[in-house]
């Protein structure tokens, strides 16, 4: 049996079709659900990273305050003073070199020269007692 060109075109047109609106909506819905799940997981991971960074920074700052008080006999007037002030201490290694660095490494600082925590808020510091805290909600007692 011989088929004509007309028959071949009509049969190929009946099997070739585009996606329906329902299929497109299903795909878009699946992509949206996946995006929400990934975004939610990212937010939780980012918050946990900020918490861990805050604990580490508070520990480092508190140790630097203790070292400042030991070497200077007083608490620093501000946290920024510890970023600017250099400390020289001997430490034991093969060359007996001196440790010459600042009390705190340069961190995120706002325009008023306040050190910023991982949440972007300035640390609260009391120069009389030497107590440093985070200003972020829920982390002031850390």
For residue range 29-79, list pLDDT tens digits in order: 999 999 999 998 999 999 999 999 999 999 999 999 999 999 889 999 999
Tell whether 47 is covered by a domain: yes
In a domain, 1, yes or no: no
Q: Please report whether residue 7 resides in a domain.
A: no
How many independent structural domains does the chain possess? 1
H/E run at residue 33:
helix 21-72
Tell whether 80 is covered by a domain.
Answer: yes
* CB-count burial class (<10 Å; 0-12, 13-18, 19+) for 55: middle
CA distances from 76 to 40, 48, 68, 86, 131 (A): 41, 30, 7, 12, 11
Range of the domain at 99: 20-133
Q: Is residue 97 part of a domain?
A: yes
Q: Which pTM was predicted?
A: 0.68
Q: Both tokens of residue 40?
A: 């939610």
Question: Is residue 59 assigned to a domain?
Answer: yes
């Amino acid at each position: 049996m011989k088929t004509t060109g007309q028959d071949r075109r009509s049969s190929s047109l009946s099997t070739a079709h585009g996606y329906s609106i329902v299929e497109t909506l299903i795909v878009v819905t699946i992509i949206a659900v996946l995006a929400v799940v990934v975004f939610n997981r990212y937010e939780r991971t980012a918050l946990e990273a900020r918490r861990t960074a805050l604990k580490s920074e508070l520990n480092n700052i508190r140790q630097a305050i203790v070292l400042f008080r030991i070497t200077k006999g007083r608490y620093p007037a501000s946290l920024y003073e510890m970023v600017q002030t250099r400390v020289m201490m001997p430490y034991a290694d093969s060359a007996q070199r001196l440790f010459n660095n600042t009390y705190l490494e340069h961190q995120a600082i706002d325009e008023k020269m306040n050190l910023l925590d991982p949440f972007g808020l300035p640390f609260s510091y009391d120069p009389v007692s030497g107590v440093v805290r985070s200003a972020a909600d829920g982390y002031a007692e850390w």
